[in-house]
Amino acid sequence: MSEKEQEIVVKIKRFSQDKGNYWQEYKVNVDRFTQMTEVLRRIKTEQDPSLSYRASCHMAVCGSCGMKINGEPRLACKTLALDIVKKYNSNVITLEPMDYFQPIKDLVVDLDDFYDRMFKVKPRLYPDKEVLEGKAEQRLKPEDQRELWKFEQCIWCGLCVSGCPSVRNDPEFLGPAAHAKGYRFLADPRDTIYEERLKILIDSSWRCTYCYQCFNVCPRDVEPVTTIKKTRAHTRFLKDRSAVAEIGEKHIEAIEESIKDSGMIKEAEVYLKTYGVIASLTDLIYAFQNGKLKYAFVKEMKVKNMDQIRKIMGD
Amino acid sequence: MKVAYYPGCATHGLSKDVDIATKKVADVLGLELVEVEDWNCCGGGFLDERDEKVHTALNLRNLSNVEKMGLEKMVTPCSVCLQSHRLASTKYKENRDLRKEVDKKLKEANINYSGKATAEHIVWILVRDVGLEKIKSNVKKPLTGLKVGAYYGCQMLRPEQVMGFEPSFHPHSMEDLISVTGATPVSFPMQTACCGFPLMGSNPKIGLKLAYNVMNSAKSKEADIMVHPCSLCHLQLDVTQLKVKAEFNLPWTMPAIYITQLLGLSFGFSAEELGISKIAQQILKEKGVI
C-alpha cells in the first residue's frame, strides 16, 4: 500500500431471495481518486463475485449506481471514498440499497414503479404538427432555455423518490423526479399538450410536503421541489380541480392576501379562508384542550412601512 | 452577544410560547436578542410558488433592516423562516436574471441590501456561539430521568448546501442541547423526516399521517417527549397533537416542546412561565420533572 493509500472497511447490506437481508464486510485500499463504484468493482472482481450492484457510465450521467452511502442517498460514481471518510471521520463506510424500492439482489433494486411514474407525465416534447412535417421550425428563446435547462438535467436515478416521504405515504403523488420532468415540458413553449399536462400534474403537485429531501439528494442539482412550486402556480389555469388542488390554491391565496394586507400572515384569517368556519372551530377546540387557545387571539401586528411591501408585491 | 431577532408570524401567533421561552433562555445566557425593526413575513415557505421575485425581495427587506441596525446575524427560532431567508439570499447571489429583477423591486421600494446580513437558527447560535459549556453552567435543575426524542424536521437541515451547519443525515445539535440539560437524548429513525405541516393546507390526511409517523417513531424508541426546532413543527406536533391522537385512535400522546422550552425547564423556569402545553405538562409531571 502506498503512503497515499488508505484502507477502508466497506459494510454492505446484502439481500437475496434465499438469505434475506444480511451485512457483509470487505476491506479495500483506496486513494483520493477512488470512486465508490471502483470500490465495488474491486470487491466484485477481487474478493466476491457474488456481489450485485448497478453501475455503468461512472460519470454521473446514466443514473444507475444510486444507493445509500452512510445513510445518504447518493450516486456511488459521484462519491469519492475518502471524501466520505473525511466527512464522517471514520474509515467504515456503509452501503445499502435505495429506500422505498424493492431490493432484487444486494444493491440492485426494482425500478419499475419509478419508471411507471416517469412515463405517466409523458416525458417527451409534443411539437407542433407543422414542425413534425418539416414545414416549420421552432426555436427556443435563450431566456426560455435558461428556465428549462436546470430541470432538464434529471438522469432518472431515483434517489429523490427513494428519499421522498410523500411518495411512500400517498400513492397519488407522482414523486419529485416525475414532477421535474413534467414541469420541464409544461414550461416549454414548443410543447402542444399544455392542458393535458396540467391535468396530469396539478393534483399531484399539491401532495408534495416541501421537505426538501429531493433538493438535498439530487446529484444533478435539479431541485425537483422548485418545479413542484412552479407547477402549482399554474393551478389557476385548470378548470376542473381536485379537492386537494382546490383547498391548496385557497390556502396560498389566503397567505398572499394576508401578506399584501398586513405584511404578515394573520393565522386566524388564513385558517378561516382556507378551511371555512366549521373546520377552524374544530381546530380551536383542539387548541383549547391543549391550553393553546390564548395564543389564537394574540393581537397581530402590521408592518409599519406597508408602502415598501406594496411596492414589492406590485400593487 | 447581540444578534437581530426575527420571530416570524407563527412565533408571534399560535406558537407564541416559542417566543416566550426563547427570550427567557437568551436572557439567562446573556444573548441579547434585538427584534428586527418593522419585519415582514418571509412568505411562510409558500409565497415563492406564487412569485419568486416577490418572495426574494420580501426576505431581503428583512435582511436589509438587520444591516440598518448595524448587525449581520439575524437569528430566528423558526426553521421555515430560516430556510426562506437563506434560499432567498442564495438565489439572489447565484441567479443573475433573478437578481436583476429583484434589484428593480428593491430600488422601487427604496431598500438597500449589501449581502452581509444572513439568517441563522437559534439552535446554531446556542451550540456554536453561546457554547454548550456556558449553557450547562446555567442548568439549575437537571432533567435527570427524562428521555427526550431529538427531532430536527426538514428546513433547519435541508438543503444541506444552503443550510450548511451540520450533516443533514447525521445531525447532532439537538442531542447535544438535550444532553446539557441532564435529560437523556433519544435518537429515532424519523428524526429528520417531515412533520407534515406544509401538507395541512392542501392534503391534511397525509399531513397528519406524516406527523403520526414521527410521533410513533419517537415512541418506538421509548422517548417520553420530543423537542423540535421550529415554530411550524410546533403547530403540527404540539397544537395539532390531539388531532393526530383522535385521527389514529391512539392510546398515547408524544408531546413535542420547543428546544428552548426544554432548556428553560433546566434553567429553573416553571412550565407555565414557558407556556408549555397541557399534554406536555402531564408527561413532565409523571416523570417528576415538574
Chain A within 8 Å of B250 (Cβ-Cβ)? no
- Reported as a single tens digit per residue, the pLDDT across B147-206 is 999 999 999 999 999 999 999 999 999 999 999 999 999 999 999 999 999 999 999 999
The residue out of B73, B93, B122 marking a domain boundary is B122
Q: Say if residue B254 is in the same domain as residue B140.
A: yes
CB pairs under 8 A between A and B: 176
Q: Taking the CA atoms of B186, B190, B194 and B196 in sequence, report the sign of the dihedral they define.
A: negative
Check CB contact under 8 Å for B38 and A303: yes
Chain B within 8 Å of A293 (Cβ-Cβ)? no
Chain A within 8 Å of B166 (Cβ-Cβ)? no
Classify burial at A304, counting beta carbons within 10 Å of its beta carbon; exposed 0-12, middle 13-18, buried 19 or more: exposed
pLDDT category at A1 given cuts 50, 70, 90 is low
With beta carbons under 8 A apart, name residues in chain B contacting A146. 97
Percent of chain B with pLDDT over 90: 98
In whole angstroms, give the CA distance from residue A66 to residue A76. Answer: 6
Q: Say if residue B211 is in the same domain as residue B259.
A: yes
Residues 86-125 of A with CB under 8 A from B: 87-88
The CATH number of the domain holding residue B95 is: 1.20.1050.140
Check CB contact under 8 Å for A259 and B108: no
In whole angstroms, give the CA distance from residue B244 to residue B236. Answer: 9
Q: Say if residue B160 is in the same domain as residue B280.
A: yes
Q: Say if residue B151 is in the same domain as residue B275.
A: yes
> Which DSSP letter does residue A225 get?
H
B45-73 burial, b at 16+ Cβ within 10 Å, e below that, comes to bbbbbbbbbbbbbbbbbbbbbbbeeebeb
pLDDT category at B233 given cuts 50, 70, 90 is very high
- How large is the average pLDDT for residues A225-242? 96
* Residue A298 distance to chain B (closest CA, Å): 6
pLDDT at B158: 97
With beta carbons under 8 A apart, name residues in chain B contacting A247. 201-202
The residues that bridge with B177 in the sheet, in sequence order, are none
The residue out of B73, B97, B122 marking a domain boundary is B122
Q: Is the model's pTM score more than 0.90?
A: yes
> Which DSSP letter does residue A223 get?
-
Letter for the amino acid at B282?
Answer: Q
For residue A217, pLDDT beyond 70: yes
Q: Say if residue B97 is in the same domain as residue B161.
A: no
User: Strands, DSSP E only, in chain B?
Assistant: 2-5, 32-35, 73-76, 118-121, 147-150, 184-186, 225-228, 256-258
The SS3 assignment for A58 reads coil
From the centroid of its chain, how far is CA B149?
15
Summarize chain A as % helix, strand, coil (round to 5).
50, 15, 40
Q: Say if residue B118 is in the same domain as residue B180.
A: no
Q: Are B92 and B61 in contact (CB under 8 A)?
A: no
CATH architecture of A112-237: Orthogonal Bundle (1.10)
Ranges of each domain in chain A: 6-109, 112-237, 249-312
Strands A72-75 and B2-5: unpaired
* Residue A207 distance to chain B (closest CA, Å): 6
Chain B within 8 Å of A227 (Cβ-Cβ)? no
pLDDT at B253: 95
Q: Are B199 and A167 in contact (CB under 8 A)?
A: no
Q: Say if residue B63 is in the same domain as residue B204.
A: no
CB atoms within 10 A of CB A307: 11
* Residue B264 distance to chain A (closest CA, Å): 19
- Reported as a single tens digit per residue, the pLDDT across A277-315 is 888 888 888 888 888 888 877 777 799 999 999 999 986
Q: Say if residue B153 is in the same domain as residue B279.
A: yes
For residue A261, CA distances in Å to A273, A307, B66 come to 14, 11, 23
In whole angstroms, give the CA distance from residue A128 to residue B279. Answer: 61
CATH number, span A6-109: 3.10.20.30
Residues 4-63 of A with CB under 8 A from B: none
Check CB contact under 8 Å for B38 and A304: yes
With beta carbons under 8 A apart, name residues in chain B contacting A98. none
For residue B239, pLDDT beyond 90: no
pLDDT at A3: 63
Mutate which: A89, A173, A292, A299, vs B, most B CBs within 10 A: A292
A137-164 burial, b at 16+ Cβ within 10 Å, e below that, comes to eeeeeeeeeebbebbeebbbbbbbbbbb
Q: Say if residue B159 is in the same domain as residue B277.
A: yes
Q: Say if residue B54 is in the same domain as residue B188.
A: no
Check CB contact under 8 Å for B202 and A244: yes
The residue out of B101, B122, B143 marking a domain boundary is B122
A6-109 against A112-237: fold identical: no
Mutate which: B9, B192, B277, vs A, most A CBs within 10 A: B9
CA atoms within 13 A on the CB side of A130: 5
Chain A within 8 Å of B96 (Cβ-Cβ)? no
Nearest residue on chain A to B19, alpha-carbon basis: A295
Q: Is A97 left (phi over 0), alpha (psi -120 to 50) or beta?
A: beta
- How large is the average pLDDT for residues A235-253? 95
The CATH number of the domain holding residue B151 is: 3.40.50.11810
* Facing residue for B206 by CB, picked from A170, A247, A309: A170
For residue B111, pLDDT beyond 70: yes
Query: Over chain B, what is the mean pLDDT?
Result: 97
Q: Which domain holds residue B261?
A: 131-286
For residue A2, pLDDT beyond 70: no
Residues 268-287 of B with CB under 8 A from A: 275, 277-279, 281
ipTM of the complex: 0.96
* Residue B3 distance to chain A (closest CA, Å): 21
How many structural domains are present in chain B?
A: 2
CB atoms within 10 A of CB B247: 15
Q: Say if residue B63 is in the same domain as residue B97.
A: yes
pLDDT category at A251 given cuts 50, 70, 90 is very high
- Reported as a single tens digit per residue, the pLDDT across B28-61 is 999 999 999 999 999 999 999 999 999 999 999 9
Q: Say if residue B145 is in the same domain as residue B210.
A: yes
Check CB contact under 8 Å for B155 and A212: yes
Residues 180-239 of B with CB under 8 A from A: 193-194, 196, 198-199, 201-203, 206-207, 209-210, 213, 238-239
Q: Are A222 and A151 in contact (CB under 8 A)?
A: yes
Q: Are A291 and B276 in contact (CB under 8 A)?
A: no
